[in-house]
Amino acid sequence: MLSRRDLLRSAAATTIAMPALSKLAIGQEQWPAREIHAICGFPPGTGADIFVRFYAKALQDRVGKTVLTENKVGAFGNIATEYVARSKPDGYTIYIAPGSSFLAAAPSLFKKLPFDPVNDFEHITTLAKLPFLLVVAADGPYKDVAGLVKDLKAKGDKASYGSIANTGLVSSELFKANFGLQTVEVKYKDPGGMFNDLLGGNTAFIHIDPGTAAGQMKAGKLKALATTSKDRFKALPDVPSASEVGIANSDLIAWWSVQAPKGTPKPILDRLEKEFNDIAASEEHLKFATPLGNDPFVGNSTMLKELLVKDIKAWGEYARLAKIEPL
């Protein structure tokens, strides 16, 4: 039987422990207690920026706290990616990004990265998947891939193409390698300048994501000749696949994902995974993504990490086929 002294000691120990336990419980219940920052690696107003803002707003509606989109632009996404990797792992910085490009492709395109794409992040889930599009000026001379290739072969290195992102660069180099073309790359910092040169006839073609090209295509200024995927996408039923137009070496599919800094508490990661999976599976997401050439891509943390590791290897092969030297 416990003595009165033992009971008092037990009661005192419980009283001392309660504030700490209460603080822990309250901390978990309160997340998010303040605004969350969703990091975007693209300039405001671009197609990719629109995606980040859609997902940020959808998360905001579900968690009841402001989710701000914060643009960190430059170095093919490396600035934004490094920023997230170095951020405090408290659940208030998340990375909504084309993970296939900013994480999976990066090791094949850069000699030295300021982050480890696998081990510096918590990999939460996937959101959407998309091919890139081989795009030309709608009022230009190219009506199909055969016509474009014939002209580019005749012009050799006097013809050029535009690029702004990792996936666009690799897609264009795979296209060149497939047909033995000598077309020269022209780098751009923003889509506006790239579109202006394409429409003005200064470049022959670009590879671009459907979201960024959607406005120009809807206005009748740009025309998609093919996707970079082996099979047609549900969201792009009228655009031929790469294999259909003779681009045999391309089955390049980009995907959007959500990451957080390594060490973010698991209860927060679990909550984010649930909320973003609900978003990806929602009717509002389907209505948003489909017109922009994306198919919803619901996943989970395990699947995302496995996909990332697999695609890092795939991008190594893409870069080899395209004869791309890391920067």
Q: Flag whether pLDDT at 26 surpasses 90.
A: no
Instruction: Report which of 178, 179, 172, 230 is spatially closest to residue 204, judged by C-alpha positions.
Output: 172
pLDDT, one tens digit per residue, over 3-25 is 544 544 544 444 444 444 433 34
Residues 262, 265: Cα–Cα separation, whole Å: 9
Q: Flag whether pLDDT at 232 surpasses 50.
A: yes
Domain boundaries, the chain: 34-130+253-321, 133-245
- Which CATH superfamily does the domain covering 34-130+253-321 fall into? Bordetella uptake gene, domain 1 (3.40.190.150)
Structure tokens at 305: 């990490």
Angle, CA of 152, 158 and 164, to the nearest 5°: 80
Q: What one-character DSSP code corresponds to residue 102?
A: I
Q: What percent of the chain has pLDDT over 70?
A: 91
CATH of 133-245, one of 3.40.190.10, 3.40.640.10, 3.30.70.20, 3.30.2320.30: 3.40.190.10
- Look-up of token digits 């980009």: 254
Q: What is the pTM of this model?
A: 0.79
Q: Which of 139-143, 208-212, 228-232, 318-322 has the lowest mean pLDDT?
A: 318-322
- Look-up of token digits 């870069």: 319
pLDDT, one tens digit per residue, over 75-134 is 989 999 999 999 999 999 999 999 999 999 999 989 999 999 999 999 999 999 999 999
Evaluate whether 239 touches 133 at the Cβ level (below 8 Å): yes
Residues 323, 306: Cα–Cα separation, whole Å: 26
| DSSP string for 46-61 | SHHHHHHHHHHHHHHH
Average pLDDT over residues 29-51: 92
Burial pattern 296-311, b for ≥16 Cβ within 10 A else e, equals: bbbbebeebbebbeeb
Q: Flag whether pLDDT at 209 surpasses 80.
A: yes
Helix (H) or strand (E) holding 172, with range, is helix 166-179
Evaluate whether 188 touches 231 at the Cβ level (below 8 Å): no
Per-residue confidence at 319, pLDDT binned at 50, 70, 90?
confident
Helix (H) or strand (E) holding 104, with range, is none
